[in-house]
Structure 1
Amino acid sequence: MRTILVANIKGGCGKTTIATHLAAAYAGTGHSTVLADVDRQRSSLGWLERRPHTAPALVGLDWAKDFGDAPKGTQRLIIDAPAALKTKQIEDLVRMVDIVVLPVLPSAFDEQATQRFLGKLEELKSIAKNRKSVAVVGNRLRARTKAADRLDQFLGGVGHRVVTRLRDSQIYADAAASGLSLFDLSGKRAAEHRADWDPLLTYIDGV
């Protein structure tokens, strides 16, 4: 089983969007996939409740109170973490996973919060000694903007692999409203945005 934690202590940076898309991507390729929601808002589980029965099946777990075990036979476990994680929660979650996916938005507030979170991660031996990977994802980027340029400068100095940059698009919100993801949609527009995810999926599978 490969376990992926999607986390950052900054709220609103796209953790649930990334977690649900990773889950849908793996389910769509035939992997037995579980999506565990640690956030009390249960946004991932809400997305799963809206998911049509015709879409590739996923199992949802409510971990808002306690972390549990994935069902036997699970091949991919995606964990959607809440904002403002406590140090003990970070330690417990990182201990369970193979890779941490860390989304960051193009804003000074997100960059500051991300630096603090990376500092907490780097205090853990498994991260400091590179036994577990951190994949940084630039999220909701608009090309040729000052914010995007600043984020590129920030990402270039974080000391962890910047795996991909996801473009900003209304297509994400439209898909989420129906419990879907880009990996469930057809058409040229969805395919163009799915290409942004290829480097992240390749990186995760190579860890």
Structure 2
Amino acid sequence: MQKFTQLTGVAAPLRLMNVDTDMIIPADYLKTIKRTGLGAGLFASLRYKDGKAIEDFVLNKPAYAKASILIAGDNFGCGSSREHAPWALADYGIRCIIAPSFADIFFNNCFKNGILPIPMPVEVVERLMEAADNGANSTFTVDLETQKITLPDGSTIGFDVEPFRRECLLNGWDDIGLTLRNVDAIDSFEAKAKQDQSWLWAS
């Protein structure tokens, strides 16, 4: 998993509440188990109509085409528990989402896929939305080490992340990565088990 330490990028304001996982990545795109290529389907029902880009949608505007931060409304990621949703966001290039609240399963899946979700009070999110309205000039810096967001005007806002999740993101540890940290102990256990219980390992 890609490490998350500090991210500087354009923030796109998505002024929608209750954005569910079907809106994030429609069911038509769930036929693959690969994590790549899903960015093209991100927010497909909002980005396209009859195969053509909807110009008014925020990510279709040139200023936000390469946004890596998303400022969204309340209850982001609700709906079905499809892991393709954070896959699609990450494949598009979104590494951080700031919203008043998140659906629990989506929130957990973000951390397992190198995305930092940050819950913030509604009034703070609105302030960030206003700052993000400046298009390509809405460059934010999200620093996970110091747990601070720097706005385009230089002001900063602090945020909290549960220590274990913070450590995992800083080091790029997903569930597999956490397991591999103990690979020497696992190998030692297997070697001893093969010696003590050889009948279990017979081919």
Q: Same fold (TM over 0.5)?
A: no
> Which one has the largest radius of gyration?
2
